[in-house]
Structure formats: C-alpha cells, structure tokens
Amino acid sequence: MRLWLPVPRRSDGSDLDSNAPPELRTPPGAVWWISVSAVLVGGTVAGVAWWLLAALPANGLQAPERATARQGAVQTALAAGAGMGAAITLMLAFRRQRHQELAARVTAHDADERRITELYAKAAEQLGSDKAAVRLAGLYALERLARDNSDHAQTIVNVVCAYLRMPYNLTSPPGTQQPPGPWPAESGSTDHDGERHVRVTAQRVLRGLLQIEYPGRWHPTPLSRGLDIDLAGATLIHVDFRNCNVGSADFTGAQFLGSASFANARFYGRATFSSAHFRGSARFGGVLFDMEDLRGGAVFHSIGDFREVVFHGEADFNGVTFHGTAVFNQAEFAERASFGLGAAFHGGILFDGAIVRQPQQKHNWPAGWHVIVQADGQGHPAYSAGDALSPTGSGDQQ
C-alpha cells in the first residue's frame, strides 16, 4: 500500500508553526559599531569640553586659576566620554545576551521541528504498511502528534481524511440488521484481518481530533471555526461525529455503511452531503448548520433524523430521497427551506414543533405542508389532511 502524505507547511511554503520564534537578523559588522562608538564618545567629549570651557568667565580669573579650570573641564569631558563608552558597552552586552537567548529559542524550536518532522514521517511510513497493526500504530502516532502540537492539527486531520478516502469495498455492507463488529473482507483483499479495523480506528481518531478545544478555537483565529474535513467519496462504517466542531465538511458521494451519528455537532462552514448514501439510520439531532447542502441526490435508506437541528442558512433538501421517515421535529429554520425539485419522501415526514423564523420567505415545502404564522411572527409547518403526503404515511413527493 502506498500513501502520499503532505508535509506540514504554510501557504508560503514555510513550516506551519504560529509560535515560531522571531528570525535572527545578521548583526552589523565590527567596523560599523567601532565607527558609531568613536563618534558618540568623541562627540560627548568635545561637546562637554566646549560647554564647560564656554562657561568660564572671560575676566576675573588669574592665569593659574584659568589653567586649573580648563584642566578640570577637560577631565570632566573625558569622564563624560568614558561614561558614554560604558553605556555603549552595557548596551552591546545586553544586545549580545538578547541575541544568545533568541539563538537558544531558535535552536530549541528547530530541534522540536526536526522531532515533529521525524515523527510525522515515521507515522506516514507506517500508514503505508501492508500490516494492519503497523497502520494502527501510525494512526495513534498522528493522533498524539496533533494533540501535542495543535499547529499541525489541520494537516494531520487532512492525512486521516486522505486515508479514509482511499478505495475500499465490502462484500456485504453492514446494514441496520447487522450488529457492529468486523465483517468479512472483500474477496481478493491482501489484508483479510485488519483493514476494516484500521478504518474504524481512523474514524475514531478523527472524531477525537475534532473534539479538542485547540488554543484560540473560540477566538477569531484560523482554528476558531473548527478544523476542515474532506471525506468526499469515502466509505465510512458506523461513523460517529457526535459533539464535534467542524469548519467546512465535504461528504460528497460518501458511503455511510451502518448507522451515522452527527448529534450535537457544530458545522461552522459549508457542510456538503451531495450524492451521499446513508445505508443505515442517519441522526443529526441537535446539529447547528451554518450552511448545509444535501442537494444533488443524497439518499437516506433508513430514518433521517433532523430533530432539534438549527439551520442558520438555507435548508436545501432539493433532490434528496428519504426511504425511511424524515424527522424534523423541533427543528429551526432561520432562512429559506426547500424540499422540492425531485425530493422524495417514501416513509413520510414529520415537522412536530418545528419553527420557521422567516415565514414570509418563499419556502418550498413537501406536498401537503404549509406554514401557519403565529402572533409572534414565527411560523410552524402544518399538514393539510387530504393532500398527497401524509406525515407518517408512505406517499411520495416528486
């Protein structure tokens, strides 16, 4: 198995580390410092001598007294020059000490970066092994690396997602009627014992990384809106993303085998589920969506549970197929809701206690459903008896 992994980098190509020490500048040459010091000392001596000599009275002093006064002025000027030299020496000593401290920080940082790079490279090599136990060790090494070095968390999440996007097939996909656990590997597989276990472990590692409160997560920093995940086309087995904080999420064309739970997760960016297939129950209870996108053929083969979900942006279910019951009880629609353009509900749909914040919007509800506006200006979906789709029946809305 060969797996190509990215090296942690910034967009400008440098290593990703927001806590990196400042770069050390090349200090000016000795000639420059000697010249500046000579000018300062000489200027101090000349300036003090001129000031003191100019202050001597023109008359009233005898020749011996004037000579003594001039000698004293010169001595004071030389002392001032010596003081200036001592100040320059102290400044240079402080600068040297500061430079040594920065050099020590840079050296320690470079050593840490080398250690992280070595660990990362080793984990990447392990993920490419043909032995499941070695791949598991690589996953756990990456997880620990992300927990100890939050600046590399997004890169490591990208690596885990890349592993899960690699092609994987099952001879008999696990459905709701099949209990959790290992299933037979596909025919012709060279890893009959562990690839499924490795992938389930990768999902658990990913979930753990999405639940960490990284420094700055709740402040306006790159991590404040969660980490991005790209699982387009991935095969996921009994996936569990409960209580995760996610930036943008791409599940386009993903295959969810067995149950899928996103309960109480928070999506800060666009969450795309276009053409995804949920083979078992899909539970999104309590999820907060900034912008979800299920249009384009997402299919729910069992129950689709969206109870208490908050849709901050447009709720777009155009073209989505529900073979089981679609549950939107206590859901909140802050913007436009659309359930048309080829949406199919073969197992009925429920909106008990759902709230429509902007009932004046041009919504597109399933057949038989409309919005009743309350006195507080909010709307609630209601079913009209005798229409094509019963709330719990098996009518279709095309």
Residue type, 211: Q
Q: What is the 3-state secondary structure (H, E, C) of 91-143?
A: HHHHHHHHHHHHHHHHHHHHHHHHHHHHHHHHHHHHHCCCCHHHHHHHHHHHH
What residues pair up with 260 in beta bridges, in sequence order?
A: 239, 282
Residue ranges of domains in the chain: 30-121, 151-383
pLDDT tens track for 283-333: 999 999 988 777 778 999 999 999 999 998 889 899 999 999 999 999 999
Q: In angstroms, rounded to a whole number, what is the distance separating the alpha carbons of residues 301 and 309? A: 20
Indicate the helix (H) or strand (E) that contains 35: helix 30-54
DSSP 357: S
Place 180 in a pLDDT band, splitting at 50, 70 and 90.
very low
* Tens digit of each residue's pLDDT (9 = 90 or more) over 245-277: 999 999 999 999 999 999 999 999 999 999 999
Most confident of 5-9, 60-64, 164-168, 193-197: 164-168
CA 206, CA 242: separation in Å to the nearest integer?
11
Q: Rounded CA gap, 196 and 191, in Å?
A: 9
Tens of pLDDT, residue by residue over 4-15, are: 444 444 334 444
Other C-beta atoms lying within 10 Å of the C-beta of residue 341: 13
Report CA torsion sign: 185, 191, 192, 197: negative
**Whole-number Å distance between alpha carbons of 231 and 235:** 8
